[in-house]
Amino acid sequence: MIGARRGYGGPGGIDPLLLIGLLLLAYGFFTGSLFAPVRDPVFFVAFVIAIVLGITVHEFMHAYVAHRLGDDTARLLGRLSLNPMAHLDPFGTLLLVLAGFGYGKPVPFNESRLRSSLGVTAVALAGPLANFALAALFAIPLRFGSADVLGDVYVTILRYIVQMNCILAIFNLIPIPPLDGSNVVYGLLPPRQQYSWRTFQQYGPFLLLFLLLLAPRVFSSVVFAPALALTTFLTGLR
């Protein structure tokens, strides 16, 4: 899970991603799903590569597009970088290792500095589109190469990078705060509707948590099924 929060919560408020992370960590503890990602060495290596790469490029592209559109907030904070350490959140990364879900540090931006009327939407879309691009790039050796030449380990790692980036892209496009899809919708709305959408943002984390914990079939059909279908289409592997 990669959050794309842009300043939610307010001064003194609870970080919604942190709240969701704590609740999911408690859920993983009681369901026994903690440490699941580290049980298979090959899977764990593939998982780490896919997540670090996915988060880094995702957040870098948010910062890059904001910079190109006139807002240097992210650049001044050192986020216009492909160094993973600039984008990995300590607790979000710990969650990824322990339970297979987590988040990176969201890239802040100032929408009043963006030159385009669709700047917020462009910045929000940049992260998921970067994940789709990564998925397509790493699918090339699988689509046109030979499994015998690549070897089982490399096939597993490459396929997992493709699959995870598809999942991250589709998940972040869900129009529920604090995900990127929420800002995609916000940037397309007229000013009056934007104000109404902002009032909805405070409830977004709870709706997202409901989908993750109480409606897993809905979540699976919205995120995992399309991601797996896209992975198969890109790699040619079933």
Residues assigned a catalytic role: 59
Residue listed under structure tokens 């590569």:
49
* Tokens encoding 140: 């090339």
Residues contacting 80, CB < 8 A, separation 6+ = 60, 63, 64, 67, 74
Give the CA dihedral 36, 40, 42, 47, nearest 10 degrees: 0
Assign 88 to helix, strand or coil.
Answer: strand
Residues contacting 114, CB < 8 A, separation 6+ = 66, 69, 70, 71, 120, 122, 123
Cα 3 to Cα 225: distance, rounded to the nearest angstrom: 20
CB 23 within 8 Å of CB 101: no
